[in-house]
Amino acid sequence: MGEQVEQLKKHLQRYYDLNAAAALLGWDQQVNMPPGGAAARGEQSATLSALSHELFTAEETARRLEAAEAEVAGMEFDADDASLVRVLRRHYDRATKIPTELVAERAKVTALAFEAWRQARAENNVALFEPHLERVIEVTRRIADALGYEEHPYDALLQNFEPGMRTSQVSRLFNDLKAGLTPLLQAITERGKPIDDSFLGRHYDVGRQWDFTLVILRDMGYDFNRGRQDQAPHPFTTNFGRNDVRLTTRLISDRPQSALFSSVHEGGHALYEQGSPERFERTALSGGATMALHESQSRLWENMIGRSKPFWQHYFPILRAFFPEQLADVRLDDFYRAVNVVRPDFIRTEADEVTYNLHIFIRFELEQALLSGALTAREVPEAWNARYQDYLGITPRDDAEGCLQDVHWSSGLIGYFPTYALGNLIAAQLYRRMKADLPGMEEGFARGEFLPPLQWLREHVHRHGSKFTAPELLARELGEEISAEPLLEYIRARYSEIYEL
C-alpha cells in the first residue's frame, strides 16, 4: 500500500470512530433510552456530528486526498486503494459543496418541519405542515443548485442516496414496472381466487414470536457473536463495524407476520454488514455500499426467500409447534397464501410486493413536481389522493393516512424514496442469477438449507464492501444494467400461481 493512502486512512480513522459512536447513541435512543433523555441526547448527537463533520471537511483531508489521488493514478479501477480514494473523493465533494450557512439553514428548517409534521399527523391537520414543506422544498432546491446537476435538479438529490443513477433512467425503469404491475393488480383484484388470512389476527404470544425469529436468524447465518436483536417501534439495523451489527424487530400479538418479516428483512441488511471484509474496517470502503444495494439484500431475504413456498415447507411445521392452538386448523398452503396476500392499502410500509412499488412511484413523481415548481405544498394532498385513486384504486380517508404518513419530507430526505424500489429491482436481478448459478437451491430451502444463498451473496456482493455503486456492481457481477423485467417476471410468476390467474 502507498504511503499517501496509508496517511489518508490514518487521518480519517477518528472520523469513522466518531460516526460509530454517534450511531451507538442513535441505537440506544431508539432501543433503550427513557423519553426524558431526548433533549440531552439531541445535544450529544449534535456535538458528535459537528466534530465528525469538522474533521472530515478539514483542510488536511483535502491535502491528503489530493496526494493520495496522485499516488493511485493509473491503478486498476477496482484496486482497494484506487477505490478508497475514488469513494472518498465523492464523499468529500458532497460534504464540502454545500455552503456552511445553507447546511445550518437546512438543519433549522427541517427541525421545525419535523415537529410541525408530527403535530399535523397527530391532529390530522395538513395545513400545519404546508408552510414548512414549502420551506423544505425551497432550501432543498438551493442545495441541489449548490451540488450541481446536468439534466434535472432531482439528479443532484438522487446522487446523495444512489450515486450513478439519473432521474431520467429511474423514470424509465418505473414506467416499465408500472406498465407491468397495473394490469396484474387489476387481474388479482377482479378475478383472483380470494385469500383468507383472518387466522393471522388470532393471539400469538409475543415471547414465542421472539424465539421463532431467533431460529430463523440463526439459520440464515446471522452471527450472534457479532450481533444482537432488540425491539424497536420502527425496525432498523445499525452497526459499529462488521463485528457489532445490531438489528431490531417489532412484536405485535395479533400480527405475527410483522415480527417475522421484520426480522428476516433486517437480517438481510445485517448479513450484508457482517460480510464486509475485515481489511476495510474504519475506512470509507467498509459496510454496505448504497441505499438500493442495501435494500436489495433485505428484500431478497424477506421476499424472494422468506415468502417462498419452499421456505414455508420447512418452517411452517416448526411455527406450528410454537403455536399449536392458533394454527391447528391451518394448512401449509393456507399459510403460504396468507403471507402473500395482495391488498391495495394506503400505508406504504404495510404494502405487499405487488403494490409496494406503486407507493414509491407516487412519491417520486410528486417530489419532482414540487422541486420544479409544477406543484405547490398546498396542492400536495389533492395530488396525492388523485394518484392513489389512479394507481391503487383507493382514496385515503384523511391526510394522516395519506400524504402525512412518511417522515421523509419533514426531515429533508427528498430523493430517498426511489432507492426502495430500485432495491426491489436489484434483488430480483441478483436472485435470478443466484438461482441459475445454484441449481436445486430452492429445493434446499425446504430442507432448511440457507447457507448457499448467503455464500453467493458474500462472493458477489458483500466482499466488495462499499467499493462500487449499484450500476458498477451489477455490470461487474452480472454483466447487466438495472432493469425492471426480472422483478416483473418474478412477481407475475409467484402471484399468478397464488391467485390462480
Residue 296 touching Mg ion (CB under 5 A):
no
Nearest-approach distance from CB 306 to Mg ion, in angstroms? 13
List, in sequence order, every residue forming a beta bridge with 237; answer none if it has no partner.
Answer: 247
Q: What is the DSSP string of 299-353?
A: HIIIIIITTSHHHHHHHHHHHHHH-TTTTTT--HHHHHHHTT-----S-GGG--H
Count Cα neighbours of 59 within 13 Å in the Cβ-side half-sphere.
Answer: 0
Q: Which is nearer to Mg ion, 83 or 466 (CB)?
A: 466
Residue 368 touching Mg ion (CB under 5 A):
no
Options 78-86, 271-279, 290-298, 393-401: segment touching Mg ion (CB under 5 A): 290-298
Q: Which is nearer to Mg ion, 356 or 490 (CB)?
A: 356
Q: Nearest CA to 21 among 230, 234, 238?
A: 238
248 to 287: interface string for Mg ion, x by CB under 5 A? ----------------------------------------
Q: Which is nearer to Mg ion, 319 or 351 (CB)?
A: 351
Hey, what amino acid is at 86? R
Options 71-79, 162-170, 253-261, 295-303: segment touching Mg ion (CB under 5 A): 295-303
Q: What are the percentages of helix, strand and coil residues in the chain, rounded to 5?
A: 70, 5, 30
Nearest-approach distance from CB 295 to Mg ion, in angstroms? 5
**SS3 state at 245:** strand
First to last CA, the chain: 59
Options 93-101, 221-229, 296-304, 364-372: segment touching Mg ion (CB under 5 A): 296-304
Q: Does 66 participate in catalysis according to the annotation?
A: no
Backbone φ/ψ region at 220: left (φ over 0), alpha (ψ -120 to 50), beta: alpha
Q: What's the grid cell of residue 76?
A: 486498476
Q: Which is nearer to Mg ion, 83 or 276 (CB)?
A: 276
Nearest-approach distance from CB 236 to Mg ion, in angstroms? 8
Q: How many residues bind Mg ion (CB under 5 A)?
A: 1
Residue 298 touching Mg ion (CB under 5 A):
yes
Cβ-based burial of 98 (10 A; exposed 0-12, middle 13-18, buried ≥19): middle
Nearest residue to Mg ion by CB is 298
Options 8-16, 198-206, 294-302, 345-353: segment touching Mg ion (CB under 5 A): 294-302
Nearest-approach distance from CB 409 to Mg ion, in angstroms? 19
Q: Nearest CA to 498 among 393, 394, 352?
A: 352
Cα–Cα distance, 398 to 366 (Å, whole number):
18
71, 162, 266, 295: the active-site residue: 266
Q: Which residues bind Mg ion (CB under 5 A)?
A: 298
User: Active-site residues: which are they?
Assistant: 266
